[in-house]
């Protein structure tokens, strides 16, 4: 009978983890912060930061340009850019920058995890499928909020610097702060819901990017045709197909103001009260979040 081989035990220095074990809340927070950093390319190569941060600068171009002009030319406060006009159809750069930012970032936040098959690793821990969807959505919405709120904050402070009395301007215009925050928040939530639910359908970045851009390019064309040619309630309802006109409608409603488009503008032709745009944006946002959670709730992912 052969002798049993003698075994040796080596002390490799492994130590049992005795620290605090983080739970579900910390996992959601970590995923949210990771998504927010990824949205602006933080912690990655320089070229990953150029496009999202460049779009942030593009979104702020009207505010920056106004401040530069005010530094060299005596501008009357009546000529100032109105906060309610900033993301309207009057200015091309801010809404276009939001659309391109959404099309670039949303597929990055969701598609990378699908392509690299890391979703099962997330779901094997305390993080639930619904937690993942909400954390990614919150990251996208917060990133958009930076692009919507910061330029208007710059514009508000710039207008305060134009007048003779800085404190007097705040005393007269402090009522704009609430509408600025409210409209910026709803624009961010509304756009994020559209972009994220589309991006979740495919892990291929090119397809997701095209899918996000498509509604912002083709639906406005259909909307303009319906509102301009069909002279009944169906034609008027076409205004809600255009995401840009929707944000115009509820933004002016937030500010209790009227669009400065002149007579015959599309919003005037549709003739809906601003509250309807607000309700529509809330419904689309809630529907988008619900569809996103339902998508990631599937066991096949």
Task: Reply yes or no on whether the pLDDT at 228 is more than 60.
Answer: yes
| 226 within a domain of the structure (yes/no) | yes
| 301 within a domain of the structure (yes/no) | no
pLDDT, tens digit (0-9, with 9 covering 90-100), for 248-295: 999 999 998 877 655 447 888 888 888 999 999 999 999 999 999 999
| 1 within a domain of the structure (yes/no) | no
Averaged over 119-130, what is the pLDDT? 83
| Of the candidate ranges 170-179, 187-196, 278-287, the one whose mean pLDDT is the lowest | 170-179
| 11 within a domain of the structure (yes/no) | no
Averaged over 214-243, what is the pLDDT? 90
Averaged over 151-155, what is the pLDDT? 85
Task: Please report, for residues 59, 76, 159, 230, the alpha-carbon distance to residue 66 in angstroms, rounded to integers and kept in the order given.
Answer: 13, 12, 9, 39
The model's pTM? 0.87
| Of the candidate ranges 41-50, 68-77, 223-232, the one whose mean pLDDT is the lowest | 68-77
- Write down the residue that tokens 């099962």 correspond to: 120
pLDDT, tens digit (0-9, with 9 covering 90-100), for 177-186: 899 999 999 9
Q: How many domains does the chain have?
A: 1
| 229 within a domain of the structure (yes/no) | yes
Could you tell me the residue range of the domain that residue 159 belongs to? Answer: 24-296
Task: Reply yes or no on whether the pLDDT at 187 is more than 60.
Answer: yes
Confidence of residue 218 (pLDDT cuts 50, 70, 90): very high
| 10 within a domain of the structure (yes/no) | no
Which residues does 68 contact at the CB level (< 8 Å), separation at least 6?
A: none
User: Residue 259 half-sphere exposure, CB side, CA atoms within 13 Å?
Assistant: 26
| 118 within a domain of the structure (yes/no) | yes
| 182 within a domain of the structure (yes/no) | yes
């Amino acid at each position: 009978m052969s002798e049993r081989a003698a075994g040796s035990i080596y002390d490799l220095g492994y130590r049992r983890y005795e620290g605090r074990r983080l739970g579900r809340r910390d996992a959601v927070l970590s995923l949210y912060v990771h998504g927010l950093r990824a949205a602006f390319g933080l912690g990655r190569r320089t070229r990953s930061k150029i496009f999202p941060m460049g779009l942030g600068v593009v979104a702020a171009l009207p505010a920056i340009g106004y401040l530069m002009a005010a530094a060299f030319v005596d501008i009357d406060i009546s000529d100032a850019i109105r906060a309610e006009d900033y993301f309207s159809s009057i200015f091309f750069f801010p809404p276009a920058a939001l659309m391109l930012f959404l099309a670039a970032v949303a597929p990055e936040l969701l598609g990378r995890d699908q392509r690299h098959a890391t979703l099962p690793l997330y779901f094997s821990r305390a993080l639930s499928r619904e937690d993942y969807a909400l954390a990614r959505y919150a990251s996208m919405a917060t990133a958009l909020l930076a692009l919507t709120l910061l330029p208007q904050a710059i514009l508000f402070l710039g207008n305060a610097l134009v007048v003779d009395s800085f404190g007097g301007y705040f005393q007269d215009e402090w009522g704009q702060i609430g509408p600025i925050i409210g409209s910026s928040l709803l624009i961010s939530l509304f756009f994020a819901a559209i972009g994220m639910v589309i991006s979740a359908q495919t892990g291929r970045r090119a397809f997701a990017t095209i899918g996000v851009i498509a509604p912002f390019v083709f639906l406005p064309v259909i909307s303009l045709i319906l509102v301009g040619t069909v002279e009944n309630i169906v034609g008027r309802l076409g205004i809600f197909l255009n995401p840009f006109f929707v944000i115009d409608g509820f933004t002016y409603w937030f500010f209790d103001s009227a669009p400065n488009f002149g007579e015959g503008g599309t919003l005037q032709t549709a003739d809906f009260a601003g509250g309807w745009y607000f309700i529509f944006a809330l419904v689309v946002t809630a529907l988008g979040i619900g569809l996103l959670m339902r998508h990631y709730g599937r066991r096949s992912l």
